[in-house]
Chains A and B, each alone.
Chain A
Amino acid sequence: MDFELTQEQEAMKRMVKQFTRLEIAPYAAEWDEKGEFSRATFNYMSELGLAGMSIPEEYGGTELDNLTIALVLEEIAQGCAATATYLAVHNMVAGVIHKFGTVEQKLKWLPVMGSGKKLGAFCLTEPNAGSDAAGIQTTARAEGDYYVINGSKIYITSGGEAEVYVVVVKTGGKKKSAAISTFIVEKGTPGFTFGKTERKMGLNASPNRELVFQDCRIPKENILGSPGQGFKIAMTALESGRINIGSIAVGLAQAALDTAVQYAKERRQFGRPIAGFQGIQFMMADMATDIEAARGLVQRAAFLLDRRKYARTMVAMAKKFATDAAMRITTDAVQIMGGCGYIKEYPVERYMRAAKVLQILEGTNQIQRLIIAKDLLGW
Chain B
Amino acid sequence: MKILVLMKQTFDTETKISLDANGKIDEAGVNFVVNPYCEFAVEEALRIKERLGAGEVTVLSVGPERAETSIRQCLAMGADKGVLVNTGGLEGGDEFTTAQIVAKAIEKVEYDIILAGFQAVDDGSAQVAPRVAELLGIPQVTVITKLELEDGKAIATREIDDGVEIIEVALPAIFTAQQGLAEPRYPSMKGIMQAKKKPMERYSLADLGLDAGLVGTDGAKVKIVELSLPTPRKGGKIVEGEPAEAAQKVVQLLRSEAKVI
B72, CB-defined interface residue at 8 Å: yes
Interface residues of A in 198-223 (CB under 8 A from B): none
* Cβ-defined contact, B186 with A12, below 8 A: no
Point out the residues of chain A lying under 8 angstroms from B188, CB to CB: 47-49
- Closest-by-CB residue of B relative to A49 is B189
Q: Which residue of A lies closest to B77 (CB)?
A: A15
Asked whether A19 is an interface residue with its Cβ less than 8 Å from the other chain, the reply is yes
Give the interface residue-count category, chain B. Answer: 10 to 19
Q: Quick one: closest B residue to A51, CB to CB?
A: B189
Given A12-B192, A62-B193, are A7 and B186 neighbors across the interface (CB < 8 Å)?
Answer: no
How far, in angstroms, from A197 to B202 measured CA to CA in the complex?
A: 57
Asked whether A62 and B190 contact (CB < 8 A) given A7-B69, A7-B196, the answer is: yes
Chain A residues closer than 8 Å to B195, beta-carbon distance: 11
Among A12, A14, A47, A52, residue most surrounded by chain B Cβ atoms (within 10 Å) = A14
Whether A322 sits at the interface, judged by CB under 8 Å, is: no
B61 at the interface (CB under 8 A from A): no
| A104 at the B interface (CB under 8 A) | no
Which residues of A311-336 are within 8 A (CB) of B? none
- Number of A residues, CB within 8 Å of B: 17
- Cβ of A12: which chain B residues have Cβ within 8 Å of it? 189, 192
Q: Which residues of B contact A50 (CB under 8 A)?
A: 189
B187 within 8 A of A: yes
CA distance A62 to B196 in the complex (A): 14
Contact A11 B186 (CB under 8 A): no
Residue in A closest to B193 when the chains form the complex, CB atoms: A62
A18 at the interface (CB under 8 A from B): yes
* Shortest distance between the CB of B69 and any CB in chain A (Å): 7
| Chain A hits for B192, CB < 8 A | 8, 11-12, 15
Contact digits for A13-26, partner B, Cβ 8 Å, 1 yes 0 no: 01100110000000
Q: Once the chains are docked, how many angstroms separate the CA of A47 from the CA of B190?
A: 10
* A52 proximity list for chain B (CB < 8 A): 189
**Is A53 among interface residues, defined by CB-CB distance under 8 A?**
yes
Residues of B participating in the A interface, judged by any CB pair closer than 8 Å: 69, 72-73, 76, 186-193, 195-196
28 contacts between A and B (CB under 8 A): A7-B72, A7-B196, A8-B192, A8-B196, A11-B69, A11-B73, A11-B76, A11-B192, A11-B195, A12-B189, A14-B73, A15-B76, A15-B186, A15-B187, A15-B189, A15-B192, A18-B186, A19-B186, A48-B186, A48-B188, A48-B189, A49-B188, A49-B189, A50-B189, A52-B189, A62-B189, A62-B193, A64-B189
